[in-house]
Amino acid sequence: MEIHPIKTQCLIYEGIYLDDKKTLAFYAIPDRAFLEYHSEQGFPEINVFIQNSKSSAWKYVVTQNHTVAQLKKSIQESDQIPVERQVLVFGGQTLENEKTLSFYSVMDNCILTLLLQSN
């Protein structure tokens, strides 16, 4: 049996990364629900490209268990675009902040579109 440090472990329910500080009741998870267990060590890094309306693209290195919110935070840190203004789209679908990239089947070298909401 392989042992993973607690800080590298995560649980996912229906594509939503569960926050360690919140209870299962907070997420309204029913009895006998299926939770996915992942370890950061089990997810290799992938490249995702964020393309804006001007066709410029930036590369970000993430893992598939990153949440959309984590990716948006990376975009904010590198490009000074506030998270609240960012809308990410992949495969014609608007990505929800609390869901993981794997939930949307984002894989290595995928291109996500970045739209900006007005202030």
- Give the Cα separation of 66 and 64 in Å (integer): 5
| Same domain assignment for residues 29 and 84 | no
User: In this structure, are residues 86 and 96 in contact, taking their beta carbons and an 8 Å threshold?
Assistant: no
What is the reported pTM? 0.70
Shared domain for 69 and 109, answered yes or no, is yes
CA pair distance 85, 72, nearest whole angstrom: 10
Beta bridge partners of 46: 62
| Tens of pLDDT, residues 73-86 | 999 999 899 999 99
33 and 50 share one domain: no
Statement to judge: residues 53 and 25 lie in one domain:
no
Assigned token pair, 57: 């693209």
Q: Are residues 27 and 77 in the same domain?
A: no
Q: What is the mean pLDDT of residues 84-96?
A: 97
Domain, as residue range, for 107: 45-116
Residues 54 and 69 occupy one common structural domain: yes
Same domain, 54 and 74: yes
Q: Do 64 and 14 fall into the same domain?
A: no
- Plot region of 15 (φ>0 → left; ψ -120 to 50 → alpha; else → beta): left
47 has pLDDT over 90: yes
| Residue 64 clears pLDDT 80, i.e. is over it | yes
In a domain, 58, yes or no: yes
CATH number at residue 66: 3.10.20.90
